[in-house]
Amino acid sequence: MTDSTYDRDLTVATEIAYMAGNIMLQYFDGDQQKVIKHDGSPVTIADTLINTMVIERLAVAFPDDGVIGEEESSEDTNQERVWLCDPIDGTKAYVWGTPTAMFSLALVVSGKPIVGVAYDPFLKRLYTGIVGQGSFCNGEKLQVSPDTLETGIVAASSSLDRLMNNPPSYILELVKRKIQTATFSGAVYKASLVARGKFVGYIEEKVGPHDMAAVQVIVEEAGGKITGLDGRKLDYRTPFKGAITSNGLVHDELVRLTA
């Protein structure tokens, strides 16, 4: 079903996104109580407070749904309806003090993202989408760019160390073909820029379901496409690693570059 059935889900997710944004702003310049996780990535007090708030709010609004957050999940996550949340995507940017960190929340039904909300509290941009109903930024309809690889910009990983010491072949190929590239921390931010037509594509090897669920809806409803690195449809019921986001037109070329 892709009708107004999901209006309440979107309303609740939007309220939660604004609350998350307030927490992000509260700690942006303050004591972030940063710790490094086992995978080497940072996590702050804002990540954990937001994740807990999301679980609490969704438990009240939709007691039968599961919630999978990057930092914490609800007890039962085997339901047909599961919310996937990245409390702060781009925590590296957040601790650097660069405003490309975003909140991300999606309702996934039987493995397919149906409702997506992503919020940039710094520019106060709320991205929303429901499958079959378009995607919007602060109420304005989103549309991907008509550009090609030659005329557009492709975003990639933010790891300078990796790009220099162990550059993936698609990076070398993009550089060789003199295609403009952009790198900074924040997968949701980069994908949102594909949805709003600034970038034609974005290749990322490390992202998983909680990173991509909301932008899957937002980008595709703006006319774009998100798949695995192999070009296949993503199934949000099982973990995956890596995704290609594009305006649709350059998708196959990006898949070929990544193969």
**Total residues binding Ca ion (CB under 5 A):** 4
Q: Is 86 in the site for Ca ion (CB under 5 A)?
A: yes
- Give 39's DSSP letter: T
Residue type, 35: V
Dihedral angle of Cα 84, 157, 88, 93, to the nearest 10 degrees: 180
Q: Which stretch binds ligand IPD (CB under 6 A): 122-130, 201-209, 233-241, 249-257?
A: 201-209
Q: Which stretch binds Ca ion (CB under 5 A): 17-25, 57-65, 68-76, 145-153?
A: 68-76
Helices assigned H by DSSP within 97-226:
160-165, 169-176, 187-195, 209-221
Instruction: Figure out which of the listed residues 6, 67, 68, 70 binds Ca ion, where binding follows CB under 5 A.
Output: 70
By the 10 Å C-beta count (0-12 exposed, 13-18 middle, 19+ buried), 164 is classed as exposed
- Least CB distance from residue 47 to Ca ion, whole Å? 6
Give the nearest residue (CB) to ligand IPD. Answer: 187
Instruction: Figure out which of the listed residues 48, 51, 128, 158 binds ligand IPD, where binding follows CB under 6 A.
Output: 158
Sequence-ordered list of residues with C-beta below 8 angstroms from that of 63, at least 6 positions apart, any chain = none
Q: Which two tokens stand for residue 248?
A: 């649709």
Instruction: Figure out which of the listed residues 89, 120, 220, 221 binds ligand IPD, where binding follows CB under 6 A.
Output: 89
| Residue nearer to ligand IPD on the CB measure, 97 or 132 | 97
**Total residues binding ligand IPD (CB under 6 A):** 16
Task: Name the helix (H) or strand (E) containing 15.
Answer: helix 7-28
Residue type, 61: A
Q: Is 91 in the site for ligand IPD (CB under 6 A)?
A: yes
Q: Is 120 in the site for Ca ion (CB under 5 A)?
A: no
- Least CB distance from residue 90 to Ca ion, whole Å? 7
Q: Is residue 85 a contact partner of residue 54, using CB atoms and an 8 Å limit?
A: yes
**Which of the residues 171 through 200 are near ligand IPD (CB under 6 A)?**
185-187
Instruction: Figure out which of the listed residues 204, 223, 224, 250 binds ligand IPD, where binding follows CB under 6 A.
Output: 204
By the 10 Å C-beta count (0-12 exposed, 13-18 middle, 19+ buried), 43 is classed as buried
Q: Is 41 in the site for ligand IPD (CB under 6 A)?
A: yes
Q: Which two tokens stand for residue 111?
A: 């493995």
Q: Is 201 in the site for ligand IPD (CB under 6 A)?
A: no
Residue type, 20: A
Strand order in the sheet with 201-204: 180-183, 153-156, 201-204, 243-246, 225-227
Instruction: Figure out which of the listed residues 9, 89, 204, 220 binds Ca ion, where binding follows CB under 5 A.
Output: 89
- Least CB distance from residue 80 to ligand IPD, whole Å? 26
User: Which residues form the interface with ligand IPD (CB under 6 A)?
Assistant: 41, 70, 86, 89-92, 157-158, 185-187, 204, 206-207, 211
User: Which residues form the interface with Ca ion (CB under 5 A)?
Assistant: 70, 86, 89, 211
